[in-house]
Amino acid sequence: MEIIILPDADAVASTTADIIEEQVRSGRSVLGLATGSTPLGTYRELIERHSRDGLSFADAQAFLLDEYVGLPASHPESYHSVIRREFTDSVDFTVGTVHGLDGEAENPAAEAGRYDASIAAAGGVDVQILGIGTDGHIGFNEPMSSLSSRTRIKTLTEQTRRDNARFFASQNEVPEHVLTQGLGTIREARHLLLLGLGEAKAAAVAAAIEGPIAAACPASVLQLHPHVTILLDAPAASKLAHTEYYQYTLGRKPAWQRF
Ligand code: GLP
């Protein structure tokens, strides 16, 4: 894993946007997009580069990581709505190329299978953006998820529903079930970018990077992936013990560890 510790959230956003921009400019690309607060700065930066520098997404496709079950796509907090509002409607994706899971599907298992097949039919994901939950989840793969899981329905933990209550009028309104790409699905993306911002993520980040590979911390499965870049602000990196091995752009250490 390539671990990059940056001074602040703006630096994480611009470094992440650099990686996405390089991918998109290299030709037809399949992007894996995450919702949640963490990637919002990256999306703002990409929107800025689209309007300022003509960065075009016309030849790209996107797949969302996850979706709440039971929320209509039109609900303002469905991930279908969130990604359009925060990113894709402000750039030039071709209509029909931003894909998500149908949270209202009558048969969630069939919907999950359809989604995995549509990612495969697109040629797989080139670059996948990931946030991390305070319990170490990625996508909505809560602790004890199978490390090889495929897209499927999951039940959210109380901790995640509490964490996400800020997007709803109350915690009671946070759906209990979700559809999420599985850990096995996520691991098929060719390049994974895990972003961590803020001290609240520090324990999960440390467990993911320095802990054992274990279902108790789903993000730890990234240790098995051949191409992972982890971009952290200083507070999110504050519980890492083995910082001598990581790349800093804080001015404290030379950048020496590259793929
Ligand atoms: C959410 C999402 C994840 C996200 C994570 C962290 O519930 N399902 O995709 O990465 O939890 O969210 P945030 O970035 O808002 O802290």
Q: What mean pLDDT comes out for the span 237-246?
A: 89
Residue 53 identity: D
Please choose, from the candidates 120, 127, 168, the residue with its C-alpha nearest in 3D space to the C-alpha of residue 39.
127
The tokens of 30 are what? 């399949």
- C-beta neighbour count of 209 within 10 angstroms: 26
Sheet holding 66-68, edge to edge: 66-68, 177-180, 152-155
Ligand 1 pocket, residue 175 CB under 6 Å: no
Give the atom of ligand 1 at the shortest distance from the alpha carbon of 36: 15
Cα–Cα distance, 166 to 14 (Å, whole number): 26
Please choose, from the candidates 225, 243, 110, the residue with its C-alpha nearest in 3D space to the C-alpha of residue 179.
110
Please choose, from the candidates 187, 191, 193, the residue with its C-alpha nearest in 3D space to the C-alpha of residue 232.
193
Clarify whether 18 is annotated catalytic: no
The tokens of 245 are what? 């091995």
pTM of the model: 0.95
Clarify whether 126 is annotated catalytic: no
Please choose, from the candidates 43, 128, 55, 129, the residue with its C-alpha nearest in 3D space to the C-alpha of residue 89.
43
Task: Give the tens place of pLDDT for each residue, 7-44.
Answer: 999 999 999 999 999 999 999 999 999 999 999 999 99
Residue ID of nearest Cα to ligand 1 atom 12: 36
Please tell me the predicted confidence (pLDDT) of residue 259.
36
The tokens of 147 are what? 């490390």
Catalytic residue from among 67, 111, 137, 233: 137
User: What's the 85 CA to ligand 1 centre distance in angstroms?
Assistant: 16
- C-beta neighbour count of 31 within 10 angstroms: 24
Give the atom of ligand 1 at the shortest distance from the alpha carbon of 65: 9
Q: Is residue 226's pLDDT more than 60?
A: yes
Q: What mean pLDDT comes out for the span 96-117?
A: 98
Clarify whether 75 is annotated catalytic: no
If you search the block for the tokens 């994974």, which residue do you land on? 192
User: What's the 230 CA to ligand 1 centre distance in angstroms?
Assistant: 15
In this prediction, residue 247 has a pLDDT band, given cuts at 50, 70 and 90, of confident
Task: Give the tens place of pLDDT for each residue, 121-180.
Answer: 999 999 999 999 999 999 999 999 999 999 999 999 999 999 999 999 999 999 999 999
Residue 12 identity: V
Query: Do 64 and 140 meet the contact criterion of CB atoms below 8 Å apart?
Result: no
